[in-house]
């Protein structure tokens, strides 16, 4: 039986199934990407820009149908899906406009005279392994900069997003990308490992779980392949002081509950100064309890199901583990009645190190609130995590917030805002949140050959 299937998480209904690729088809996909690279890398930069601009146009033209498709496949409310599609279009437009400048030769001033130039060149066919939580966005931040560079792409998407995977491949084809420059494959994990090992593949980018990242990094390392890994997160949201607690709580709830809590960089651990703690918990619990679930394909829905029943069941197990070991449950805590993979918005306090929730990522609508006596305790709590993706610091005194931000072991920090993403800013983390950066100019500096061309003086 195929593992690639569309299962509506709001109902549990299997809508459509797709056969896994054969080994022969996998070989053909790698061959196509490898052969396409020779021509695509020589395509004038302005032509590559035009293709990406057309990709952006097609996403905007099809925003409604694309949003509905991921609502069906992984449960994202269509209003949020439209937001994702808009961001994707901005990413492709950004690299179409700014990519040529990022690729310009860098003139050096070498000792001893003469000239030296660092030239940015593509390296070849790449494998992308992408997750289900942002089906279009995750692909765009990998494919956009690399196609602009002249690399080509073999893409293995999540097995619950086959139709959106095919829709993306069709958009590239319609936009004028040559045959083989972007190839979707319904590959198994074993076949993905074989693709990484293939000498024609020059690198691999994965966004996904820590477990998947470890497996991919091990295989890539064995074959000396470059990797970019964007893995899990348990981002701290530190509240030092505020003149508007209602506003901070509103931002906290919005940040945690977007995409039903299924975002690697959403705030998951809320660390609040003790003088604000009780009121913060009460206000947040009240707001979470009022959230109403709905059909993600209904334009009015703001809170949908998790991506699958297995994901919902796994999250509830993590919540029960915490409660069984002494955590306080303020609201939610279990599956909602009726069909679908719906988990009630949940608030926990009293999390301690022996609980799974202390060190594991809770990938769903669960907020954990911690009390801190001072800035030092807040920073210690924030950094006491295997993850280091993003974070946020809130204070009326921005200098105070910046000083705390400087002490956080994360790849990104927001001051008086909720962690987010945009096309011109780098995205990535440290520790077990991964390696490498995506987006901005940094997204074009990963899978490249920075070639030095030197002409000594007097030659």
Query: Looking at per-residue confidence, does 324 or 420 come out higher?
Result: 324
Specify the pairing of strand 201-207 against strand 226-230. parallel
Q: What is the DSSP string of 396-454?
A: S-HHHHHHHHTT--SS--EESS-----TTS-B--EETTEES-BSTGGGGSSSEEEEEEE
Residues of the chain with CATH 3.40.605.10: 4-231+433-455
Region label for 235, one of left (φ > 0), alpha (ψ between -120 and 50) or beta (otherwise):
beta
Residues of the chain with CATH 3.40.309.10: 235-422
Terminal Cα-to-Cα distance of the chain (whole angstroms): 66
Q: pLDDT tens-digit profile of 208-257?
A: 999 999 999 999 999 999 999 999 999 999 999 999 999 999 999 999 99
The two three-digit tokens of residue 176, written as one number:
């004028």
User: Which superfamily does 4-231+433-455 belong to?
Assistant: Aldehyde Dehydrogenase; Chain A, domain 1 (3.40.605.10)
pLDDT of residue 419: 87
Active site residues: 230, 264
Which CATH code fits 235-422?
Answer: 3.40.309.10
Q: pLDDT tens-digit profile of 111-153?
A: 989 999 999 999 999 999 999 999 999 999 999 999 999 999 9
Place of tokens 């002494």: 326
Could you give the CA distance from residue 123 to residue 128 in angstroms, rounded to a whole number? 15
Q: pLDDT tens-digit profile of 352-400?
A: 999 999 999 999 999 999 999 999 999 999 999 999 999 999 999 999 9
In contact, 180 and 203? CB cutoff 8 Å: no
pTM of the entire structure? 0.97
pLDDT of residue 459: 63
92, 97, 162, 433, 444 from 144: Cα distances, Å: 6, 11, 20, 22, 9
């Amino acid at each position: 039986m195929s593992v690639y299937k569309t299962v509506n998480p709001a109902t549990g209904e299997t809508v459509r199934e797709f056969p896994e690729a054969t080994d022969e088809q996998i070989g053909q996909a790698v061959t196509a990407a490898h052969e396409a690279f020779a021509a695509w890398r020589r395509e004038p930069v302005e032509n590559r820009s035009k293709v990406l601009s057309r990709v952006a146009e097609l996403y905007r033209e099809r925003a409604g149908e694309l949003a509905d498709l991921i609502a069906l496949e992984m449960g994202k409310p269509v209003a949020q899906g439209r937001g994702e599609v808009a961001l994707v279009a901005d990413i492709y437009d950004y690299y179409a406009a700014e990519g040529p400048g990022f690729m310009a030769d860098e003139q050096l001033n070498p000792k001893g005279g003469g000239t030296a130039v660092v030239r940015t060149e593509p390296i070849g066919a790449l494998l992308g392994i992408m997750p289900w939580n942002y089906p279009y966005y995750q692909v765009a931040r990998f494919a956009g900069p690399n196609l602009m560079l002249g690399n080509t792409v073999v893409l293995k998407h999540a097995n619950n997003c086959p139709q959106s995977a095919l829709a993306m491949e069709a958009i590239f084809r319609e936009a004028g990308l040559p045959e083989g420059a972007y190839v979707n494959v319904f590959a198994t994990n074993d076949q993905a490992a074989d693709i990484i090992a293939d000498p024609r593949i020059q690198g691999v980018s994965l966004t996904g779980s820590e477990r998947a990242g470890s497996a991919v990094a091990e295989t890539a390392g064995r074959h000396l392949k470059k990797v970019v890994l964007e893995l899990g997160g348990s981002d701290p949201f530190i509240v030092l002081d505020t003149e508007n607690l209602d506003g901070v709580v509103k931002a906290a709830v919005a940040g945690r509950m977007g995409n039903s809590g299924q975002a690697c960089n959403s705030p998951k651990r809320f660390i609040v100064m003790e003088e604000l703690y009780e009121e913060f918990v009460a206000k947040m619990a009240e707001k979470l309890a009022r959230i109403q679930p709905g059909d993600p394909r209904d334009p009015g829905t703001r809170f949908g199901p998790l991506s699958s029943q297995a994901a919902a069941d796994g999250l509830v197990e993590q919540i029960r583990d915490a409660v069984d070991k002494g955590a306080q449950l303020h609201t939610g805590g279990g599956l909602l009645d009726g069909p679908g993979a719906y988990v009630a918005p949940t608030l926990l306090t009293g999390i301690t190190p022996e609980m799974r929730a202390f060190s594991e990522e809770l990938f769903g609508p669960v907020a954990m609130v911690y009390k801190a006596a001072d800035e030092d305790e807040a920073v210690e709590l924030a950094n006491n995590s295997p993850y280091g993706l993003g974070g946020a610091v809130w204070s009326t005194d921005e200098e105070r917030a910046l000083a705390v931000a400087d002490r956080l072991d994360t790849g990104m920090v927001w001051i008086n805002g909720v962690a987010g993403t945009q096309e011109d800013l780098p995205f990535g983390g440290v520790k077990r949140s991964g390696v490498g950066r995506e987006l901005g100019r940094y997204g074009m500096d990963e899978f490249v050959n920075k070639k030095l061309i030197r002409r000594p003086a007097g030659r």
